[in-house]
Structure 1
Amino acid sequence: MVEPAPAQVSDSPPPGSRKGRAGARSRRAALARYLLVRLALIVPTAWILVTVVFFLMRVVGDPITAAMGGRMTAEQINERKEAAGLNRPILTQYWEYLSGLMRGDFGRSADNREISEVITVYGAATLELVFWSLLIAFAIGIPLGRYAATHRDRPADVVLRLFAILAYAAPVFFVGLLLKLLFSVKLGWLPGSGRASTNVELALQNVSPKTNIMIIDAFLYGDIGYIGDVLKHAILPSFALGMLTAGVFLRLVRINLLQTLRSGSVEAARARGLSARVVTGRHAFKNALIPVVTVMGMYIAVHLGGSVLTETTFEWKGLGYQLAEYLKARDFIAVQGIVAFVALLVAVMSFVVDVVVSIIDPRVRF
């Protein structure tokens, strides 16, 4: 007669025991050390990115000559270069540039406008666009990803996977042009460019305090018609940008939900007699959203840095639109300032994502 195998006892101490409390303290200490290291790495990461941007901009040539060549005489260009300090040694320029960044000075454009002001004004427009596009991405990508995972290998799952691939792979400017042709040109339902109608934009210039976020300014103005006009202008560019992110969210939620549904904790929940809806919603779905949080943080950083194609397609005057204008004008100092801001933003958002994931996911080890 074969004796039954002895039951395996978990080595994990109960949460309320002395060992459990010691383990929790140890994890908090490890988390604190990890976050301190990540915080300290922001500075060298941002420095490397900013340094690469600075020297790459110098490789393409003198920014004053590039921006003003053919429109000014050699003497006028030389005067501009002297005033901007571009005749000094490259390392001197580099040190002055880093010193300015530490004071929040990203330089000046060719039309003598502070880049920090450009970032504040046009960055608010991009922030608004990113907000609307993320709402659309969440509303489409997460429910469809959950549905695809719970209907694995069925026709609906196949269709949704194809949709996710197309949404992710389709060029955002192509999707934007299709949306404009259909809903703006052919059907005439929605405006195809701008952030608001001309009369609305002029009226909202007088709002106080002015946030440069059009929907907030419209609420502050207090006109329902203006709010509706701003929302109508946001629909097409938000869908064009949101569909790209929705495809990413759909695939992430589907893959991670399938993995979570095969985990031991979910199998144990099923063994206790819980329904499939409860198992999916209460035990598996929350864990499947953790990678979405990670991707969302980085997508916010990238989109805030300038959704160039979307903003250019819809003439949405945000940071990406302005960056494209500076590139066309060959204003490399302005381009350098905006790209440096994006580099700093990506470094900070990377740290924020690490903090959020380490807090919401107890499985993370340090």
Structure 2
Amino acid sequence: MYVQYWKFASRAVQGDFGKSWYTDTPAFKLVLERMPPTLYLTSAGLLAALLIALPLGILAALKRHSFVDNACTMLAVAGQAMPIFWLGIMLIIIFAVRLKALPASGYGTWQHFLMPAFTLGAFLAPITMRLVRSGVIEIMNMDYIRTARAKGVGENTVVVKHAFRNACIPVITVLGLQFGQLLGGAIVTETVFAWPGVATLTVDSIRNQDFPVVQCAVVLLALIIVSVNFVVDMVVGLIDPRIRIG
């Protein structure tokens, strides 16, 4: 058993995961061909999550205990409870079937990105919004914020330059940890929208019992997650010099 594993590991390091049992094509080649659409979708979903979470989180923190804060909190709770596949299907029914404004599936133009990216972003936005809210609330009560206000610094400058920058540190860290879940959410999103990515390839390979492709996809996705978390640690160190990277 250990000899067999050693042979597999030594070949995997060289990018040799064997050939697909279904198409007789090198598994590594198949996965690499499907990797760009998945990375594009994941990046678009991350961008959508930030565009949703950052403004709402800051607004909820600045309007603490108000109607706006309660509405944002309820929206975050609803977003966390909402299944990805249900949201994707609802978007297809509304914007593709009834309004005929966006394509229901496929890949190629910017219009194909809108619904899948929003679906994937809605999966990550609630936790990010709540982190931004709690971070901004905590920072706004710090002494240096009071000092900046006492010096006559404008409220917008206080929020953007002082509070938001420091509140982003835990958010960036969590985004790195959540990137793996974002790739997991891409499996459902790609399936709903027939997106030609690695997730769809992996699901099809599991159905076909095409284990070389499954192994290759899992290993490469794991390497991507590790690399993203490494980059996140570096970025956090650049933002906050107090954090030592070593």
How high is the TM-score relative to the length of structure 1?
0.63
Are 1:177 and 2:94 matched, yes or no?
no
Report the counterpart of residue 244 of structure 1 in structure 2.
123
Q: In the TM superposition, what are the counterparts of 1:40-189 in structure 2 within 5 Å? A: 90-110=1-21, 111-189=23-101
Deviation for aligned residue 1:275: 3.1
1:334–1:305 distance in 2 versus 1, CA, 3 Å: farther
Contact 1:302 1:342 in 2 (8 A): no
**How many equivalent residue pairs?**
244
Counterpart amino acid of residue 257 in structure 1: V
Quote the Cα distance in structure 2 between the aligned partners of 1:338 and 1:361. Answer: 35
Quote the Cα distance in structure 1 between the aligned partners of 2:102 and 2:227. Answer: 36
Quote the Cα distance in structure 2 between the aligned partners of 1:339 and 1:178. Answer: 30
Counterpart amino acid of residue 261 in structure 1: M
3-state SS in 2 of match to 1:128:
helix
Structure 1 spans left out of the alignment, 5+ residues: 1-89, 197-229
Deviation for aligned residue 1:138: 1.9
3-state SS in 2 of match to 1:308:
helix
Contact 2:60 2:68 in 1 (8 A): yes
Structure (1/2) with the larger helix percentage = 2
Partner deviation per Cα, 1:57-107 (whole Å, 9 max, x = no partner) = xxxxxxxxxxxxxxxxxxxxxxxxxxxxxxxxx212100111012212233
Contact 1:266 1:284 in 2 (8 A): yes
Deviation for aligned residue 1:135: 2.2
Quote the Cα distance in structure 1 between the aligned partners of 2:26 and 2:182. Answer: 22
Deviation for aligned residue 1:232: 1.4
1:337–1:306 distance in 2 versus 1, CA, 3 Å: farther
3-state SS in 2 of match to 1:289:
helix
Quote the Cα distance in structure 2 between the aligned partners of 1:263 and 1:141. Answer: 23
Quote the Cα distance in structure 2 between the aligned partners of 1:132 and 1:352. Answer: 18
Counterpart amino acid of residue 346 in structure 1: I
Report the counterpart of residue 221 of structure 2 in structure 1.
342
> Larger Rg: 1 or 2?
1
Contact 2:149 2:155 in 1 (8 A): yes
Contact 2:120 2:182 in 1 (8 A): no
Deviation for aligned residue 1:321: 0.8
Quote the Cα distance in structure 1 between the aligned partners of 2:184 and 2:31. Answer: 9
Structure 2 spans left out of the alignment, 5+ residues: none
Report the counterpart of residue 222 of structure 1 in structure 2.
none
Quote the Cα distance in structure 2 between the aligned partners of 1:291 and 1:243. Answer: 19
1:305–1:154 distance in 2 versus 1, CA, 3 Å: closer
Counterpart amino acid of residue 277 in structure 1: N
Contact 2:206 2:214 in 1 (8 A): yes
Deviation for aligned residue 1:305: 6.8
Contact 1:266 1:283 in 2 (8 A): yes
1:306–1:160 distance in 2 versus 1, CA, 3 Å: closer
Contact 1:305 1:339 in 2 (8 A): no
Contact 1:106 1:114 in 2 (8 A): yes
3-state SS in 2 of match to 1:104:
coil
Quote the Cα distance in structure 1 between the aligned partners of 2:164 and 2:113. Answer: 30
Partner deviation per Cα, 1:310-329 (whole Å, 9 max, x = no partner) = 00000001011111111111
1:269–1:156 distance in 2 versus 1, CA, 3 Å: same
1:143–1:238 distance in 2 versus 1, CA, 3 Å: same
Counterpart amino acid of residue 3 in structure 2: T
* 2:193 alignment partner, one of 314, 324, 334: 314
Quote the Cα distance in structure 1 between the aligned partners of 2:200 and 2:178. Answer: 18
**RMSD, matched Cα:** 1.8
Contact 2:169 2:240 in 1 (8 A): yes
Deviation for aligned residue 1:302: 4.7
Contact 2:41 2:116 in 1 (8 A): yes
3-state SS in 2 of match to 1:152:
coil
Counterpart amino acid of residue 4 in structure 2: Q
Quote the Cα distance in structure 2 between the aligned partners of 1:154 and 1:252. Answer: 18
